[in-house]
Amino acid sequence: MSPMETYQPTGALAGAVLDGRYRVDALIATGGMSGVYRGVDLRLDRPVAVKIMDARYASDEHFLTRFQREARAVARLKDPGLVAVYDQGAGAPGGQPPYLVMELVEGGTLRELLRERGPMPPHAVAAVLRPVLSGLAAAHRAGLVHRDIKPENVLISDDGDVKIADFGLVRALADAKITSTDVILGTAAYLAPEQVATGDTDARGDVYAVGVLVYELLTGNTPFAGDSPLAVAYQRMDHDVPPPSTRITGVPRQFDELVAYATARDPAERFADAAEMADELEVIATELGLPRFRVPAPRNSAMHQSLSLVDTSSAPTAGVDGPRHTRAFTRDELPPRPAAEDDDEYRPLTGQFAGIELGEFYWARQRAKRVLFFWVVAVLTLAALAGAGAWALGTNLPNLL
């Protein structure tokens, strides 16, 4: 996928002041619909993140109306797992593009962390999921759906805070006149089957995306592959997400079941919302005895690079594979359904997290179980020997006396 297609040069807004208040500084990254800049709120003298939508959206009044409505709704949400929205600019046809002013999270994205460190062990996955599900639960209670959960939209601060970004943008596009019922919006690898089939979704669509995210955190890959985003999106219509343990060793059965429940093809068979999934995660964490974990921020992130950027005419590199962009595609582009799934998709993989082979986490658990078993056997054996000695002594006590 190529970087954001735009009618303005990438980074051209650097140095501009929006609405006489927000100075736009270094470009951090671009996406399918927008560019994100490091900025400063000149009135409050605080750093902010400014998400500036592609200029082509400034001419669409339906989008601008929905954009403002969604921004207000998201700004009312309060949860540590959500990136705070401070302000929004409506934009104007032929003039200033629409923008959002948000909390600046110094750190990086979950995508960048996965690229640096690879798959995560279960306790690290749980540490990521807790704030993600908490933020989503707050939104679901307010009747809001994210529609585009993916590692690029999960931010990790240098202090270890995990937050969800980009609420409301996909919904604004979905309701704008630039789309129609024949257009699918989202990121192909994480779309729920009903989003592909009809374009409609609810909280259970976010749950499906989180299930795919869990699979990716555990294995390092998304469950489906294809020659195009549409081919990837179409596969979930006919195929279940495979258990993560079939791709990498050491994944507990409970996480296989969590992924299976979250990614059921029938929405009625999934968790009803993020709160219900969060409750199940805590049951699993307690059952497995998962320790608390501070999620590390990626070291070589676009956010960190933007601190030292002087020339902001180009975006920082996003890595070998590049980010997965939110995009729109039409159902007419859908390829024929494949006759059979490639067996390579289910081939077991290996990986590391923080330089440690994930298999080590599995074997460590097995060694602990074996040690406990041997101790139990030893204690029982000693108890049996002591009992036998006492019995023998009691039987022969008259002869000894």
More confident residue, 108 or 7: 108
Assess if residue 367 is contained within a domain.
Answer: no
What's the pLDDT score for residue 275? 98
> What is residue 189's three-state secondary structure?
helix
* Cβ(46)–Cβ(22) below 8 Å: no
Assess if residue 375 is contained within a domain.
Answer: no
Cα–Cα distances (Å) from 254 to 192, 285, 354, in that order, read 22, 9, 23
Assess if residue 396 is contained within a domain.
Answer: no
Reply yes or no on whether the pLDDT at 234 is more than 60.
yes
Assess if residue 371 is contained within a domain.
Answer: no
Identify the domain containing residue 270 by its residue range: 17-354
The one catalytic residue in 54, 60, 148, 166 is: 148
Assess if residue 364 is contained within a domain.
Answer: no
Reply yes or no on whether the pLDDT at 346 is more than 70.
no
* Predicted confidence (pLDDT) per residue in 193-209, tens digit: 998 888 788 999 999 99
Is there a catalytic annotation at residue 148? yes
What's the pLDDT score for residue 387? 67
Residues contacting residue 114 through CB under 8 Å, at least 6 positions apart: 120, 151, 216, 217, 220
Mean pLDDT, the chain, whole residue set? 78
Q: Identify the CATH number of the domain in which residue 276 sits.
A: 1.10.510.10
* Predicted confidence (pLDDT) per residue in 122-171, tens digit: 999 999 999 999 999 999 999 889 988 999 999 999 999 999 998 766 66
Q: How many Å apart are CA 242 and CA 222, to the nearest integer?
A: 10
Assess if residue 45 is contained within a domain.
Answer: yes
Reply yes or no on whether the pLDDT at 230 is more than 90.
no
What's the pLDDT score for residue 156? 97
Domain count, the chain: 1
Assess if residue 381 is contained within a domain.
Answer: no
More confident residue, 18 or 321: 18
What phi and psi values does residue 357 have, to the nearest 5 degrees? -60, 130
* Predicted confidence (pLDDT) per residue in 55-81, tens digit: 777 777 777 787 888 788 888 999 999
Assess if residue 139 is contained within a domain.
Answer: yes
